[in-house]
A = this chain, B = another copy of it.
Amino acid sequence: MTVTKWNVRAGAYYDSVVLMQLQRGLLGLSGVVDAGVVMATQANRELLAANNLLPESITANPDDLLIVVKANDDSSAADAIGKVDELLTRRKSSNSQDDFRPRSLSAAAKQLPEANWVLISVPGRYAAGVAREALELDKHIFLYSDNVSLEDEIALKKSARDKGLLVMGPDCGTAIINGIGLGFANRVRRGAIGVVGASGTGTQAVTSHIHESGGGISHAIGTGGRDLKSDVGAITAHQALDVLARDPETKIIVLVSKPPSPDIATQLISAAMETGKPVVIYFIGYPPPARKIGNLQFAISLSEAAELAVQLLVNSNSDSQNQQLPLINYYLRGLFSGGTLAYETLLGLQASLSPIYSNAPITNYQLLEDPLHSRAHTIIDLGDEFFMVGRLHPMIDNDLRIRRMRQEAADPEVGMILFDVVLGEGSHMNPAGALAPVIKEIRVSRPEIEFVAMVIGTDDDPQNLQSQIDQLKDTGMTVFRTATEAVEYISLRFGRSVPDKHPPVNLGRLTQPLAAINVGLESFYESLISQGAQAVHIEWRPPAGGNEKLASLLAKMKK
C-alpha cells in the first residue's frame, strides 16, 4: 500500500528545467515510488491522473505548481515533501555563473553588441513580450516558445518585416544560420543547399539526410508551424525565400511544410518560381501537382526532398530554369470531356492558380455553385451527370462544348481556354475537325485568348492521331499529350506573380558570424557555446516574479 502526499505552490514562476530536476530529485529519495512536478493545467492534471498521481482532493489553479509524491509509507512521503525547498535551492546554487549573467535583454545587448539574434524559449505567455523587446533592439528572433497567441505572432512578424528582421517561430524548433544550429539542430556540413522549414523535425530530417547524402547546408530558416496559414500569410517563409534567393552561397532551396492554406500555397509556389534557383518543395500531405514545374521539383517525403536537392546540386548545370514565357494576367477556363482528366488537371493547377473552381472540385471550397457560369479560374467536367440527361456525351457530340467555348470567349476576363480531345473507339470520329473552326473564329475576335489542348489517344486509334493534332495546331494553339505537360505549361504561364515589396532582410547581417542572446532554456545557450558561437545567457525571471496581477499593474504604471 502506497501513500500519496502533495504540495501546492501558488502562482510563482519556475522554469521547466527546474521542475524536471525537482522531480528527479524527489524520485531519488528513499521510499519514493513516483513523483510528479507540474504546473496544474488541465492537461497536466490529466497526465498525473493517468499515472495514478492525482489524489481526488487536490484543488489547484492552472498557474499553481503542483508537487505530488507517492511513497512506500507515510514518513517517506512526508520526508520527500519536506525536502522540496532544499532541492529547489540546491539546483539554484549549483548554477555558479548566475552572478555574472545579465538579467535583461538591454543589458545583454550591451554585454554582447555583436549579437544579431535573440533565442527565446520562455513560457508562452511571456514570449511575445520578450520578442517585442528584441525587435526594439533590432535583433532577429528565434522563437522556440509555443502557446503564443496568433494575434501576437502576426503583430510580431509584421513589425519584424517592416524592419527587415526575421521572426522564426513561435514554436520554431530548428534553424541553422551560418553553420550554427539554433534550438534542436543537427550538426551538418556547410554547403549550397538552403532550407525553409515550417516544421521542426522536418528541417532536422531534411538537413541530416542532405548531410548523409554528401550535401551541405547554407542556412536553414525556420518559420513556425502557423506561418503558412492564411492569417499569418507566410511572412517569414516569404522573407526566407527572398533572402536565400539573394544569397550567393545558396544554389538550391528546399521548402518543407505541412500543407499550407491554398492561397498561401499559390503565393509561395509563385515566390519559389521567382527565386530563379532550383527549389525542391515538399508540402507534407499536399498531393504534388507534378514532379517538376519549371525550376520547381515536388517531393513526396522528407528523405526524397533531401535526395532531390543533392541530385540537383550535382546536376546543377541541367535545365532548371523557367522558359521565359509571357505571363497571363487573366483567367483560365478548362472545358473537359474527360472527368478524370479534368480532376487530374485541377489537382495539378490548384497549386499555382488561385482561386480555382470546378463542378468536380477536389475540396469543397472549389465548388462552382453554378456549373453553367465560370468564375475566376474554372475547370468544367462537361461529362458530369448534370449535363447528361437526354444528351450525348461530349466525347461524341461537341455541341455543348462549342457553345461553352463561345460563352467563355465572350468573357473579357478570360485569357486561356483549355480542353481535352479524347480519341478512341466509341468517340467522335473527328473532334479536332469540329472544334478547330470554332477556335479559328474566336481567335479573330479575341486574338489574345490562348488555346491549349491535351490529346489522349494512340497511333492505332480510328481517328488518326496525327491528323487530329495537326488540325488543332493549325489554329495556332498549343497541344500536349498528357495532363502533366499541360499542367506544367499552364502553371508557368499563370503561376508567377510579384508579391508586395517589403524591406528585404539584410543579407550581410544574416551571413555575419552568428552571435546570440539566449532567453529561456539554458541548454540552448550551452549548445551555442559548444558550436563556437558567441552567446550570452540571460538570467531571466518573469515580470513581477510571475505574479500576473502585479505584472499587469507594473505594465500599466510604465505607460
The CA-CA distance from A343 to B286 in the complex, in Å, is 12
Known: A424-B186, A426-B185. A202 touches B390 (CB 8 A): no
The residue of chain B having its C-beta at the shortest distance from the C-beta of A427 within the complex is B184
Contact B343 A258 (CB under 8 A): yes
The CA-CA distance from A399 to B285 in the complex, in Å, is 30
Contact B147 A388 (CB under 8 A): yes
Contact A422 B458 (CB under 8 A): no
A:389-404 near B, CB below 8 Å = 389-393, 395-397, 399-400, 403
A531 interface residue per 8 A CB criterion: yes
- The number of residues on chain A lying at the interface, defined by a beta carbon within 8 Å of a beta carbon of chain B, is 112
A463 CB to closest chain B CB (Å) equals 10
A185 CB to closest chain B CB (Å) equals 5
Among A244-252, A271-279, A300-308, A550-558, the one that faces the other chain is: A300-308
Residues of B within 8 A of A390 (CB): 14, 16, 19, 38-39, 41, 44, 65, 123
Contact B339 A43 (CB under 8 A): no
A:295-319 near B, CB below 8 Å = 298, 300-304
Contact B460 A422 (CB under 8 A): no
Residues of B within 8 A of A16 (CB): 390-392
Contact B424 A204 (CB under 8 A): yes
A232 CB to closest chain B CB (Å) equals 16
A460 CB to closest chain B CB (Å) equals 4
Q: Say which residue of B147, B204, B256, B339 sits within 8 Å of A199 (CB atoms).
A: B339
Residues of B within 8 A of A482 (CB): 205, 209, 301-303
A196 CB to closest chain B CB (Å) equals 14
The CA-CA distance from A285 to B199 in the complex, in Å, is 23
A448 CB to closest chain B CB (Å) equals 24
Contact A362 B425 (CB under 8 A): no
The residue of chain B having its C-beta at the shortest distance from the C-beta of A342 within the complex is B201
Q: Chain A 344-365, CB within 8 Å of chain B: the 1/0 string?
A: 1001100000000000001000
A226 CB to closest chain B CB (Å) equals 11
A4 interface residue per 8 A CB criterion: no
A442 CB to closest chain B CB (Å) equals 16
Contact A181 B424 (CB under 8 A): yes
Contact A184 B426 (CB under 8 A): yes
The CA-CA distance from A287 to B459 in the complex, in Å, is 33
Contact B185 A344 (CB under 8 A): no
Contact A524 B426 (CB under 8 A): yes
Residues of B within 8 A of A186 (CB): 423-425, 456-458, 460-461
Contact B385 A147 (CB under 8 A): yes
Residues of B within 8 A of A50 (CB): 372-373, 403, 407
The CA-CA distance from A487 to B340 in the complex, in Å, is 29
Contact B425 A527 (CB under 8 A): yes
Contact B396 A211 (CB under 8 A): no
The residue of chain B having its C-beta at the shortest distance from the C-beta of A485 within the complex is B303
Contact A303 B483 (CB under 8 A): yes
The CA-CA distance from A509 to B483 in the complex, in Å, is 36
Q: Say which residue of B44, B285, B300, B426 sits within 8 Å of A343 (CB atoms).
A: B285
Q: Chain A 457-498, CB within 8 Å of chain B: the 1/0 string?
A: 111111000000000000000000111100000000000000
The CA-CA distance from A396 to B190 in the complex, in Å, is 25
A310 CB to closest chain B CB (Å) equals 14
A60 CB to closest chain B CB (Å) equals 12
A387 interface residue per 8 A CB criterion: yes
A3 interface residue per 8 A CB criterion: no
A351 CB to closest chain B CB (Å) equals 12
A:111-154 near B, CB below 8 Å = 123-124, 146-147
Contact A300 B304 (CB under 8 A): no
The residue of chain B having its C-beta at the shortest distance from the C-beta of A397 within the complex is B20
A231 CB to closest chain B CB (Å) equals 17
A294 interface residue per 8 A CB criterion: no
Contact A426 B181 (CB under 8 A): yes
Known: A185-B424, A208-B458, A483-B302. A41 touches B389 (CB 8 A): yes
Residues of A in contact with B (beta carbons under 8 Å apart): 14, 16-17, 19-20, 23, 38-39, 41, 43-44, 46-47, 50-51, 62, 65, 123-124, 146-147, 171, 173, 181, 183-189, 199-205, 208-209, 211-212, 225, 256, 258, 284-288, 290-291, 298, 300-304, 337-341, 343-344, 347-348, 362, 371-373, 383, 385-393, 395-397, 399-400, 403, 407, 420, 422-427, 456-462, 481-484, 521, 523-524, 527, 530-531
7 A-B pairs (CB sep. < 8 Å):
A50-B373, A146-B385, A147-B385, A184-B422, A201-B340, A284-B344, A303-B482
Further contacts, 16 of them, CB under 8 A, given A290-B301, A291-B300: A14-B390, A39-B389, A43-B389, A47-B403, A50-B403, A123-B390, A147-B385, A184-B426, A184-B427, A186-B424, A186-B456, A199-B343, A205-B456, A208-B456, A212-B458, A303-B483
By Cβ-Cβ distance, the 6 closest A-B pairs, closest first, are A201-B338, A39-B390, A202-B340, A199-B340, A186-B424, A187-B460
